[in-house]
Amino acid sequence: MSELPPDLPRLQTVVRYLRAELSRAERALAVAEERAAEASRRRPLPEPAAWLVEQGIGVGRRPVRVHVGGCWDTAKRCTPVTEQQARRALTEGVPGCPHCRPDTALGVLD
């Protein structure tokens, strides 16, 4: 850290200067934050995946459920898949979500 002057008038000057610089920096920060917020509001949300496969918990992390994209009952362990992968998972015994019914949407019925 730099040495500060020992006398009162110069210390007061340093404090005034630092307060002014802090004020400028805070104004610049507020402008930058507003710019970033505006940019994120304008950026469209990514299109949700059309099909999701929910992975199980544990070592193997096997598929436990197939979902239609945008299903409200998806977990953090869902990964996007293609229509063919979702159809294959359903035909290989992975159950479909009872809420969004991907088996019905894909025409894969028992």
Per residue in 5-62, pLDDT (tens digit) is 999 999 999 999 999 999 999 999 999 999 999 988 888 878 888 999 999 887 778 8
Question: Is 80 exceeded by the pLDDT of residue 63?
Answer: yes
- Is the separation of the CB atoms in 85 and 51 below 8 Å? yes
Q: For position 110, what pLDDT does the model report? A: 58
* Residues 6, 12, 15, 20, CA torsion sign: negative
Report the DSSP pairing between strands 63-68 and 78-81: unpaired
0.75 exceeded by the pTM? no
Strand positions, DSSP E, 1-110: 51-55, 63-68, 78-81
Helix (H) or strand (E) holding 67: strand 63-68
> What burial class does residue 108 get, using C-beta atoms within 10 Å of its C-beta: 0-12 exposed, 13-18 middle, 19+ buried?
middle
